[in-house]
Amino acid sequence: MDNDEFRDWSRRAADWGVDYRAGLRDRPVRPAIAPGEIFRSIETSPPEMPEPMEKIFADFEAKIVPGMTHWQHPRFFAYFPANAAPVSVVAEYLVSAMAAQCMLWQTSPAATELEMRIVDWMRQALGLPEGFSGVIQDSASSATLAAVLTMRERALDWQGNKKGLAGQAKLRVYSSDQVHTSIDRAIWVAGIGEENLVRIPVAGRFRAMDTAALEAAIVADRNAGLLPAGIIACVGGTSIGGTDDVAAVAAVARRQGLYLHVDAAWAGSAMICPEYRHFWTGVEGADSIVFNPHKWLGAQFDCSIQFVRQPEDLVRTLAIKPEFLKTRGHDGIINYSEWSVPLGRRFRALKLWFLLRAHGLESLRNMIRNHVAWSEGLAARLAKEADFELVSEPMLSLFSFRHRATPGADLDEHNLRLVDAINADGRIYLTQTRVDGRVAIRFQTGQFESTAADVDAAFNVICECARSLAS
């Protein structure tokens, strides 16, 4: 591709992107395709000779786009959002064009220094005190893994990486059962072992860990010769928004000398609004916090910020410096690959810089406040319908509900059929969860371009689909 063609196709791609976003409401949120259809439509072997871009682009439109689930669709209410403000898409075009690998300061000085600044902007935006620095990771899963490795190393007096875990006292990590499975995976990958992730009983509307039980479990483990390493608290768990009392958990961590990691991957974005910060009161007592601007703030996927109290502990855990990665003459400079598991890293700060400048915090706050208000409104409307019950009250913009089955019918089966019917309809997209072992349907509002009318449309679709299942 020469420069003229590069210009031409870049323009066409940008035009296509604008038309795509503008026309999203006309598409079903989730494609109606069967597994294997797309795979079979792709040639079985790579081409030996160049193909014209016209044909490649035509195949993209014909074969790929109809097989996509549209995460930017204004009526995507499933999972958590991965919303991408148009301005962050523009920043990503530029990042793609430069295609820099930002592992060390000297491999992209501007990427490193902008990241330092933007992480601090976000610290201020979330109301976190000075003293936290941070890094932009690809995902909350990576950030949590980095945190678990750090708590492991601290507990093992920095001998785990060197000697392995054989012959060491058994490490123990504590959380509720409301945390995301990325915590389980971090525990597996860190070699701590699933049986050493101790689940603390929960109580209350937000299913917060019982902190007396937490402290008792830590003390009992220590007395039994086990090695408590850390606690993972959640603010806005994935299933129903489970939220720990972070201040009380932090007090236990402090008394017991344990590392505290807070997973606020989704709910963290809402902390730009001072009125929601009560959900994580005490968070300044954490050793690390993860939140994903790629979920609810509009920074295109992927973009996960890990704030850390003592970056030197993270670096001590993860840094490795062969000769070919040494940055001669720049001792003491930040090389962000030493703060994360992967060596190579994308330039992720640019999209946040563009986003925060083009929108300003106040308009992002308004977006989040609207999402919360619309979800609360929908929850209240559903609760008034005789055939529906709320399973969990809104936590920010997430709640769950259930349709009452006709007597004798299996309630779980009925609600799973309802989710399938809603998603087959295509106008909205929802996902299910289990609450106390029973199926519930989740609803969250978080799309950058959602409106109150989209949420109203969701009410109609849910009721219509439930009625047609019942008839």
> Residues 229, 172: contact at Cβ < 8 Å?
yes
Q: Which is nearer to ligand PLP, 182 or 300 (CB)?
A: 182
CB of 292 to ligand PLP, least distance (A): 5
* One of 30, 73, 180, 309 touching ligand PLP (CB under 6 A): 180
One-letter identity of residue 143: A
Q: Which is nearer to ligand PLP, 160 or 241 (CB)?
A: 241
Q: Could you give the CA distance from residue 88 to residue 111 in angstroms, rounded to a whole number?
A: 15
> Residues 246, 190: contact at Cβ < 8 Å?
no
Q: Which is nearer to ligand PLP, 256 or 433 (CB)?
A: 433
- Is 81 a binder of ligand PLP (CB under 6 A)? no
* One of 141, 150, 445, 450 touching ligand PLP (CB under 6 A): 141
Q: Which is nearer to ligand PLP, 88 or 427 (CB)?
A: 88
Q: Which is nearer to ligand PLP, 289 or 418 (CB)?
A: 289
One-letter identity of residue 366: N
Q: Could you give the CA distance from residue 459 to residue 464 in angstroms, rounded to a whole number?
A: 9
* One of 91, 126, 140, 462 touching ligand PLP (CB under 6 A): 140
> Residues 352, 122: contact at Cβ < 8 Å?
yes
Q: Which stretch binds ligand PLP (CB under 6 A): 95-103, 214-222, 263-271, 372-380?
A: 263-271
Peptide bond into 15 cis (omega under 30): no
Among positions 181-200, residues that touch ligand PLP (CB under 6 A) are: 182
50 C-beta neighbours (distance < 10 Å), count: 8
> Residues 307, 119: contact at Cβ < 8 Å?
yes
Among positions 277-336, residues that touch ligand PLP (CB under 6 A) are: 292, 304
58 C-beta neighbours (distance < 10 Å), count: 11
In angstroms, how far is CA 199 from the centroid of its own chain? 22
User: Which residue is listed with tokens 């389980």?
Assistant: 184
Q: Which stretch binds ligand PLP (CB under 6 A): 221-229, 260-268, 336-344, 371-379?
A: 260-268
> Residues 376, 142: contact at Cβ < 8 Å?
no
| Cα–Cα nearest to 123, from 7, 246, 286, 250 | 286
| Cα–Cα nearest to 73, from 412, 470, 451, 434 | 451
* One of 72, 196, 238, 445 touching ligand PLP (CB under 6 A): 238
CB of 23 to ligand PLP, least distance (A): 27
* One of 265, 350, 368, 462 touching ligand PLP (CB under 6 A): 265
CB of 136 to ligand PLP, least distance (A): 12
One-letter identity of residue 79: Y
Q: Which is nearer to ligand PLP, 91 or 140 (CB)?
A: 140
- Is 237 a binder of ligand PLP (CB under 6 A)? yes
Report the DSSP beta bridge partners of residue 181. Answer: none
CB of 296 to ligand PLP, least distance (A): 10
CB of 397 to ligand PLP, least distance (A): 13
Among positions 197-236, residues that touch ligand PLP (CB under 6 A) are: 236
Q: Phi and psi at residue 434, in whole multiples of 5°? A: -125, 135
> Residues 180, 237: contact at Cβ < 8 Å?
yes
Q: Which is nearer to ligand PLP, 304 or 423 (CB)?
A: 304
Q: Which is nearer to ligand PLP, 192 or 265 (CB)?
A: 265
Q: Could you give the CA distance from residue 189 to residue 178 in angstroms, rounded to a whole number?
A: 20
> In the numeric block, which tokens belong to residue 227?
């090695």
Mapping DSSP to helix (H, G, I), strand (E, B) and coil, where does residue 331 land?
Answer: coil
Q: How many residues bind ligand PLP (CB under 6 A)?
A: 14
* One of 139, 310, 370, 433 touching ligand PLP (CB under 6 A): 139
* One of 76, 77, 80, 174 touching ligand PLP (CB under 6 A): 80
Q: Phi and psi at residue 285, in whole multiples of 5°? A: -85, 0
Q: Which is nearer to ligand PLP, 104 or 209 (CB)?
A: 209
DSSP character at residue 103: S
Q: Which stretch binds ligand PLP (CB under 6 A): 89-97, 135-143, 163-171, 315-323?
A: 135-143
- Is 444 a binder of ligand PLP (CB under 6 A)? no
CB of 142 to ligand PLP, least distance (A): 7
What order do you get walking across the sheet with 398-403 strand by strand? 388-395, 398-403, 438-444, 431-435
* One of 263, 313, 338, 454 touching ligand PLP (CB under 6 A): 263
Residues that bind ligand PLP (CB under 6 A): 80, 139-141, 180, 182, 236-238, 263, 265-266, 292, 304
